[in-house]
Chain A
Amino acid sequence: MKLTLKIWRQAGPDAKGAMVDYPIDGISEDMSFLEMLDVLNDKLIREGQDPVAFDHDCREGICGMCSLYINGRPHGPERHITTCQLHMRKFKDGDTIYVEPWRSAAFPVIKDLAVDRGAFDRIQAAGGFVSVNTMGNLVDANALPVPKAHSDKAFDAAACIGCGACVAACPNGSAMLFVSAKVSQYALLPQGRPEAKERALNMVEQMDAEGFGNCTNIGACSIECPKDISLENIARLNREYLVAEMTKES
């Protein structure tokens, strides 16, 4: 396959960026999108140019490290997969492909296509946990049965890989889907209930402090989410938050 790539190049956080054209040839259908970029980088290095920086690690859709806005969509045109799982057979010979970084005030660009998603870690540190220390003498794991329906729903929420596509997809740059997934996982499990209120309040507070936008129920986040995290979680977060706000002891 022969393609024209239009890629966002930006030397550093404060540098001005621009789209740059790269024609590329000899791409096989079996390649993943990132392998196609490997081929481009190999060529650029040989030509004495600076290779394109992009984040990636597992290359199997689970670590959440890869990103990329491809032809105007986070993780590209296919639903329910990450960029590293996108294969070139989804494109046609002669296509022009636009590749940009996640765009959000809360995710500053580090270089080219790599952005800083540290805000997610800080939100997690604000309340995304159950306060239990490591102990050798906890109650037996089966002492407390959890209805399968609840544990399945908790799992659905826990499947979030923290990639940030939801933020990138949202016109407001809201992180509600990410935060709601974490809040929901714990809210649905008995182990998470004791701290449910503080968790919702603290995580939302941190989210706001990081400069993410407000949720106006557009739903683009869930459509573009590679793990199909449902909007139901946002509704649950709103409920949890409201109850916590109303019963807050001050």
Chain B
Amino acid sequence: MSIPDSKVPEGPIEKKWTLHKEHLRLVNPANKRRIDVIVVGTGLAGASAAASLAEMGYNVKSFCFQDSARRAHSIAAQGGINAAKNYPNDGDSVYRLFYDTLKGGDYRAREANTWRLAEVSANIIDQCVAQGVPFARDYGGLLDNRSFGGAQVSRTFYARGQTGQQLLLGAYSALMRQVGKGKVKMYDRHEMLDLVVVGGKARGIIARNLVTGKIERHGAHAVLLCTGGYGNVFFLSTNAMGSNVTAAWKAHKRGAFMANPCYTQIHPTCIPVSGTHQSKLTLMSESLRNDGRIWVPKKIEDAKAIQEGRKKGRDIAEEDRDYYLERRYPAFGNLVPRDVASRAAKERCDAGFGVNRTGEAVFLDFASAIERYGKVEANVHHIENPSKEKIRELGMKVVSAKYGNLFDMYENITGDNPYEHPMMIYPAVHYTMGGLWVDYNLMSSIPNMYVLGEANFSDHGANRLGASALMQGLADGYFVIPYTIADQLADDIRTGPIPTNTPEFDEAEKNVRGRIDQLMNIKGTEPVDHFHRRLGKVMWDKCGMARNDKGLREAIEEIRKIREDFWKNVRVPGKADAFNQELEKAGRVADFLELGELMCMDALHRSESCGGHFREESQTEEGEALRKDDQFAYVAAWEWKGDPGKEEMHKEILKFEALKLSQRSYK
């Protein structure tokens, strides 16, 4: 198979989506009732898609592995959602949001998709407000905005530090409304374990009821995967514990191409690792970089003293601090994109300037912000000659109102008070830009299978800007799929219900049962986590923030060994036909063990640096990432050929019409 058509419509970039929508085929209301759609995932992408499709009249079945649709991982997003509303009147526009997103992604996204994302962004805010999402407002009652990395305007809408929660609860309420009407049938605590392809089209899934262990067949005319990202391949990440690649990977094995799997986002502001028991890492929202200043000591003696506990951050004089982001990138300062900020932290820590016991942490300091806000407040309240203490007190109030819950969270986890001592942060795996390949209509290389949200690859290129994932999930679900899916389903108005007693369903179910039996029967000695941790360490060390040829080759070998060991020595307790959380984990880790190898292969072949993918061989003299557009301005779409080592790569050449390729600079 060669790379399928990306179906990017003709016409000038700002007209493409409108013209395309006008020419897509439609399914009339009476016929929609004859069409069934499976939506796997209830995060922002899945819940918004399921609700919208049901409102339009399709019969929807919605799946998630949590005990309620409301608990999808999207709930954890903190900082905000971008939209080109230009409410602050600071010069924002669809073009600027498009430009920032494409540039932020280091020119490795599909231009037309990124434009569409920016184009529909404003509608998302209108939709969410209409649903009763309580966004932050100013005293005039209008919506408030803040800035995020990679942008010089304020276009980020937020709901305290719980933006994802509020957006998801909005989408969940729309979904539940359709459940109440009987237009959506909800299958929570269900896990999709295979995709069923009939006559070349996706026609259903095999799912396991996680409470009873029962294997179920579900047929439909189209299947939407909205199953999130695969950051947990690194074991430690900011993702929820259950986030996994299984649904996407099973679809990949059935013929869906996996695009740019090596593009991983390492978020700069996370709480550093504290010990070997650690099960996950906690993000401190990027919004903190609006006011927090990042630094390490200038002098190596000071760094050593801090590492050994002889000094604290506060003991370091102002002139002995290295605000390295402000120094290296004066134009964007602490608000450079995530990949840049993460690498800069790693560079300082590798050079020995880290500020905790392990040497893998930098300071995020609010002292200047507290002082700055304190002075403003003193002015506002007409306090003349305020004392230092008074300024600090007033400033702390402002900082606490803005970030209080994040500060509390930090203190709760680390036992350290961030109002007194600067926070310590370090980069952690956070998001995966890579994912299943989709065309402009969000359809994968398997007809009738669509991929939405973090699970697809299309909009963020090699690096995602903050507050753009929520935007993309909701754009895909509310404003793209309702239009594009009809074009394909117009062929199915006479198909009738999809039967599940066919050889294709038999084969898929047998496949699922076979794999479960295999896992249950190994009866080895080591729990699943043991293998997952080992995989994670290889991925972090060799396919993490910096990658090189030698390391990646080693990683591939090591992952193969861990995989072999897993299939010989894993121990899955309990029974297959019952509630069995270890069995769930085992299946997911088995898939990660295959995906990890593909990620390394992808990272190995791409011997340029771009966005989150930094190849040590490809950097400028100052250590900045060096892209090679003449060789790598394409999407690498991998096709499964029976074994992770044998995947075949196809190229979708990226064409840039609206923006000229240029080397990214935030200086």
Contacts and interface: CB of A to CB of B under 8 A. Distances in A.
Interface of A: 12, 28-32, 34-35, 38-39, 41-42, 44-46, 48-51, 53, 55-65, 81, 85, 87, 89, 110-111, 114, 116-118, 120-121, 124-136, 138-142, 144-148, 151, 154-155, 158-159, 161-162, 185-186, 189, 191-192
Contacts, number: 216
Nearest to B282: A60
B162 A162 contact: no
A155 B134 contact: yes
B530 to A, nearest CB: 8
Interface string B478-494: 11001000000000000
B125 interface: yes
Given A65-B67, A162-B70, A185 B279 contact: no
B68 A58 contact: no
A134 B51 contact: yes
Interface of B: 48, 51-52, 55, 66-71, 73, 75-76, 85, 87, 120, 123, 125-132, 134-143, 159-160, 162, 164-166, 169, 172-174, 176-177, 179-180, 186, 188, 211, 240-242, 274-275, 277-280, 282, 409, 412-413, 415, 478-479, 482, 525-527, 529, 571, 573-574, 578-579, 581-582
Given A62-B164, A132-B131, A134-B55, 17 more contacts: A29-B415, A32-B279, A41-B527, A50-B574, A57-B73, A57-B241, A58-B76, A63-B71, A63-B75, A64-B70, A114-B67, A117-B68, A120-B68, A124-B70, A158-B166, A189-B132, A191-B131
A159 B160 CA distance: 10
B67 A116 contact: yes
Contacts of A34: 279
B76 A134 contact: no
A125 B174 CA distance: 9
B139 to A, nearest CB: 5
A28 B164 CA distance: 32
Nearest to B128: A141
A233 B131 CA distance: 20
B8 to A, nearest CB: 21
Contacts of B478: 134
A128 B138 contact: no
B177 A55 contact: no
A240 B595 CA distance: 53
Contacts of A147: 141
B409 A61 contact: yes
Given A117-B68, A155-B159, A110 B211 contact: yes
B271 to A, nearest CB: 10
At the interface, is chain A mostly helix, strand, loop or mixed? loop
B277 A35 contact: yes
Contact of A51 (B51, B73, B409, B582): B582
A247 to B, nearest CB: 22
B177 A125 contact: yes
Given A63-B76, A63-B240, A126-B180, A57 B66 contact: yes
Contacts of B242: 57
A59 B280 CA distance: 8
A141 B67 contact: no
22 contacts: A29-B415, A45-B527, A45-B573, A51-B573, A60-B280, A61-B409, A62-B75, A81-B412, A85-B409, A118-B67, A121-B186, A128-B176, A129-B176, A130-B131, A133-B52, A134-B51, A141-B125, A141-B126, A148-B139, A148-B141, A155-B134, A162-B70
B4 to A, nearest CB: 28
A53 B67 CA distance: 14
A134 B52 contact: yes
Contacts of B211: 110, 116
A1 B42 CA distance: 40
A42 B274 CA distance: 19
Given A57-B71, A63-B76, A132 B130 contact: yes
Nearest to B408: A80
